[in-house]
Amino acid sequence: MKNLTISDIARKAGVSKTTVSRVMNSPEKVEEGTRKKIEQIMKEAHYTPSATARNLSKQISSTIGVIVPEIGNAFFGELFKGIEDVINKNDLSLLYCSNEDKAQKDFEALDMMKTQRVKGVLYVPAVNYPAVRMMGKVQKKLEALGCPVVCIDRDISLHMDTIHFDDRKAVKTAVLSLVKAGHHKIAFINGNEEKNILAIERYEGYREGLKEAGISEDERLVYQGEYQQSYGYLAMKELMEKELDFTAVITCNNSLGRGYLQAVHEAGRADAFEHISLDKIEMLDLLRIPNNYMLRDSYEMGRQAAEMLISRIAFPDKKIRNILLETSLVKETF
């Protein structure tokens, strides 16, 4: 026997599909005799309404949307685990989407979340929208969602709950730690300041660390491009070719860190520099190779972000919260 649809039930009961839908979603609005007749038909047919059908009729969803730059990045993998642990406890489902650090992809992801009528969104902005003069457009997209949003990892001054790490302080601490270990020429490989708000914070941390240590900044040691392994590789190759007598390198995410490793191993200079990466490079842990990194607990950020969103859904008028998480410096080689 084929599965009955709402249309089938309505035809059997001699009522409209709207009446059947009301029985499933707002039974108190349906006359008792009609309601019992419809419920009996569903019972005899072993009919169970799908979650999708219920959500569409109510114009809501039991789904939480998550938009991040890279789904495959280990940092965001841990973030997902933290989110899932909270969402699963609340009997909700998740819909993941990548914006690839591109504004157009970001807008497409937000439009898709609107189409899916998500209950709330956990959102990592693709670009530094104030810097590229697109703040108005992204705000309209977020408002059009019609649901609560929590901004994660990148604070671009949106009027909503936010949670992110103190990257400026983390990089400053890394610089001062290297200086204390005897390094006075420290190369810095970062992302693009215009595209990514984090690149600004990280560069400011680098400059503040040098200033506090009484070291003048050497612009030849600073590279700011893309947060990709390929850029880290090319930047480090060029730095080595310049022969600038630097002794330490800071890379500002795990992708850049992998690019750095690729370049120094290819050149046979793996032990020539002290290296600190922002975020752990997972493959080094797996190979049990000592490494230094600024530890950002993305699992904890994901967990807290999801809890913030659940709270915002339950209490939409509560005061907006902005949480700044601390990092720790893990030193295994110096």
Same fold, 63-165+298-327 and 167-295: yes
The pLDDT, as a whole number, for residue 80 is 97
Q: Residue 24: is its pLDDT beyond 80?
A: no
CB 158 within 8 A of CB 142: yes
Tell me which fold the domain 63-165+298-327 belongs to: Rossmann fold (3.40.50)
User: Alpha-carbon Rg of the chain, whole angstroms?
Assistant: 26
DSSP state of 277: E
Candidates 274, 309, 310; CA nearest to 292 is: 274
Percentage of the chain exceeding pLDDT 70: 94
Is residue 329 very low, low, confident or very high in pLDDT (cuts 50, 70, 90)?
very high
- In the three-class reduction of DSSP (H, G, I as helix; E, B as strand; rest coil), residue 318 is classed as coil
Q: Residue 50: is its pLDDT beyond 60?
A: no
The single-letter code of the amino acid at 279 is D
Q: Residue 25: is its pLDDT beyond 80?
A: no
Tell me which fold the domain 167-295 belongs to: Rossmann fold (3.40.50)
Q: Residue 187: is its pLDDT beyond 50?
A: yes
Percentage of the chain exceeding pLDDT 90: 75
- In the three-class reduction of DSSP (H, G, I as helix; E, B as strand; rest coil), residue 65 is classed as strand
Q: Which of 28-42, 53-67, 164-178, 222-236 has the lowest mean pLDDT?
A: 53-67
Is residue 1 very low, low, confident or very high in pLDDT (cuts 50, 70, 90)?
very low
Give residue limits of the domains in the chain. 6-58, 63-165+298-327, 167-295
Q: How far apart are CA 45 and CA 43, in angstroms?
A: 5
Q: Which of 22-26, 166-170, 236-240 has the lowest mean pLDDT?
A: 22-26
The per-residue pLDDT of the chain, averaged, comes to 92
Q: Does domain 6-58 have CATH number 1.10.260.40?
A: yes
User: Model-level pTM?
Assistant: 0.81
The pLDDT, as a whole number, for residue 326 is 95
Any residues with CB less than 8 A from the CB of 246 and at least 6 apart, and which? 185, 186, 187, 221, 239, 273
Q: What is the mean pLDDT of residues 190-203?
A: 92
Structure tokens of 209? 């660390």
Phi, psi of 146 (to 5 degrees): 70, 25
63-68 and 93-98 strand pairing: parallel
State whether the Cα torsion 40-44-46-52 is positive or negative.
negative
If one counts every other C-beta atom within 10 angstroms of the C-beta of residue 260, the result is 26
